[in-house]
Structure 1
Amino acid sequence: MIELFYRIIKKILIIFHKILNFGLYKNGVILYGIPKLINRKNINLDHNVRINGNVFIHGDGGVHIGENTTLSYGATIISTGYDVRSWDKNKINKNHKSKSINIGKNVWICANATILPGVNISDEIVVAAGSLVNSDLLESGYIYGGIPAKKLRKFYKG
């Protein structure tokens, strides 16, 4: 009975979240939890994007997520970070450097995967659970995984 109560409360919270962020979710985005979104104006979600619970998207550098893409529980997309090449100059100010992230169509970002600034992910790619993506994933039809993410195997014949 208590579990049913929690599920009802969660659904109500998701509905309120979608109402308050209508501009972001106008393309038929499907929410299975409430994501944490920073700098929403730089986040662009295409049609039929599915977002599960505990997803974090930091949009400072700009984030575009293509249609039919799924972000599983705990996925993290960060479009800003420290510029370590000029660390000596930034020790005190801690200046951030932002770069855009582009995720293609029909992509599945599995649980607890992290996407770092400046990454481009092509269409029809699976990023395995717990992976760290710090460079472009350009070959469609493959599963990428590990730290850092590398091509593991082909999953799609097309």
Structure 2
Amino acid sequence: MIAGELYLPGDSELVADRKRAQSLMRAYNDTIMGDAARGDLLAALFGSCAADAAVRAPVYVDYGYNIHIEHGVFLNYGCVLLDVCAIRIGAGTQVGPAVQILTADHPRDPETRASGREFGRAISIGRNCWIGGAAILLPGVTVGDDAVIGAGAVVTRDVAPGTTVAGNPARPLVSSAPNA
């Protein structure tokens, strides 16, 4: 699964891993800012999470252990991180409310899809990015450092460093502002 190969999501080990994540999510989502348990819960839920990262509850994950959050990251309310493969969020990145970061994918071939097998592709988000509310990042995309994803954008392709994208599908915006 983590390598992007086809897998069966009903595998007993994966079911147990999702139950573990659901228990930790429930506990975390029942906390409020300032609760002493928050840091410990995030450390248990995520593969890695910098101590100064801010994750507003509720947050939703598949497994949690494939999520890696660096220094100074901010995730606003209601983010969905489907982490069948790695999700890496670089230092200083800000993620708006209701953003979906989706590594989970399904075969395009109808026979393979009917078999119940799935796969995923990792997502990497660089440093100092800004992802607007309700944006959706699809499997396999890489967002470069200092990029901006407009609110509601559907990111289907890689975003180059320093680029602003918006729309469905997300496309680079051309700025008319002079360079400072």
Name the TM-score, length of structure 2 as normaliser.
0.73
Deviation at 1:112, TM superposition (A): 0.3
Q: Which runs of 5+ in 2 are unaligned?
A: 1-30
Q: Among 56, 80, 84, which residue is 1:60 paired with? A: 84
Q: Among 65, 70, 73, which residue is 1:41 paired with? A: 65
Match of 2:164 in 1: 143
Percent of matched pairs sharing the same residue = 22
Q: Does 1:97 align with 2:119?
A: yes
Q: Does 1:88 align with 2:111?
A: yes
Change (3 A) 1:18 1:131: same
Deviation at 1:37, TM superposition (A): 2.0
Deviation at 1:141, TM superposition (A): 2.3
Q: Secondary structure at the match of 2:164?
A: strand
Contact 1:131 1:145 in 2 (8 A): yes
Q: Among 106, 111, 135, which residue is 2:133 paired with? A: 111
Q: Among 91, 96, 101, which residue is 1:77 paired with? A: 101
In 1, Cα distance between the equivalents of 2:112 and 2:77? 38
Deviation at 1:42, TM superposition (A): 0.8
In 2, Cα distance between the equivalents of 1:15 and 1:157? 45
Deviations 1:55-74 (A, max 9, x none): 01011111111000011100
Deviation at 1:107, TM superposition (A): 0.6
What is the CA RMSD across the aligned residues, in angstroms? Answer: 2.2
Deviation at 1:157, TM superposition (A): 4.9
In 2, Cα distance between the equivalents of 1:27 and 1:88? 45
Q: Which runs of 5+ in 1 are unaligned?
A: 1-8
Contact 1:141 1:156 in 2 (8 A): no
Which structure: greater strand fraction?
1
